[in-house]
Amino acid sequence: MNTKPNLTKLSKFLSLPRVVEIVTSRPDFQWADRSDIEHIARHGTGDGKNRFEIKANGIRALYGHSFDQPISYDPIEPPPTLLHGTAVDVGSRHTPHRVVIIVRTRAAHRAGINFYRPDPGLYLSEPIPPQFLDIPTTDRSRE
């Protein structure tokens, strides 16, 4: 199973020295140096997601919401189910009543929805129709 990005659609690396120059020119980040940026790129920012790749003297984003042109990954066969992490992570910041969405990924995959795994801790997918989503009910009287 190939989890490396397919670079046919977008493979542009930016000059790492130029990125360092841009970042350190900002007042908030004048303390940073190349090793700080490399550390963040290689180890993430503490959320378990590695969003960048460094090769030689270049750096690029592996995925994100700000691209005009999508980054392409090879499709994978997903596990039977996944939990929607945003529902847990972001939801808990706004309410003590968390909502967990269970994605029936295997069924969605059989129906033609593609799944991707750009990083060992992250799955991406095409839009998933509601018939493949389950929200477990909980007894709130015990909370």
Q: Could you tell me the two tokens for 35?
A: 């090793």
φ/ψ region of 23 (left if φ > 0, alpha if ψ in -120 to 50, else beta) reads alpha
Q: Could you tell me the two tokens for 119?
A: 């990083």
Query: In this predicted structure, what is the pLDDT of residue 79?
Result: 94
Query: In this predicted structure, what is the pLDDT of residue 1?
Result: 38
Task: Using alpha carbons, select from 138, 112, 141, 142 the residue that is nearest to residue 125.
Answer: 112
Are 40 and 34 in contact, with CB atoms under 8 Å apart? no
pTM: 0.49
The mean pLDDT value for 16-22 works out to 86
What does the alpha-carbon distance between residue 121 and residue 10 come to, in Å, rounded to a whole number? 22
What does the alpha-carbon distance between residue 10 and residue 134 come to, in Å, rounded to a whole number? 34
Over its C-alpha atoms, the chain yields an Rg (Å, rounded) of 19
What does the alpha-carbon distance between residue 21 and residue 46 come to, in Å, rounded to a whole number? 24
| β-strand partners of 116 | 124
Domain residue ranges in the chain: 5-61, 75-142
Are 106 and 39 in contact, with CB atoms under 8 Å apart? no
Q: What pLDDT digit, counting tens, does each position of 96-131 carry?
A: 566 678 899 999 999 999 998 887 778 888 888 889
Are 14 and 58 in contact, with CB atoms under 8 Å apart? yes
Task: Using alpha carbons, select from 57, 75, 62 the residue that is nearest to residue 2.
Answer: 75
Q: What pLDDT digit, counting tens, does each position of 54-104 carry?
A: 888 888 777 654 455 556 788 999 999 988 755 445 545 555 566 678 899
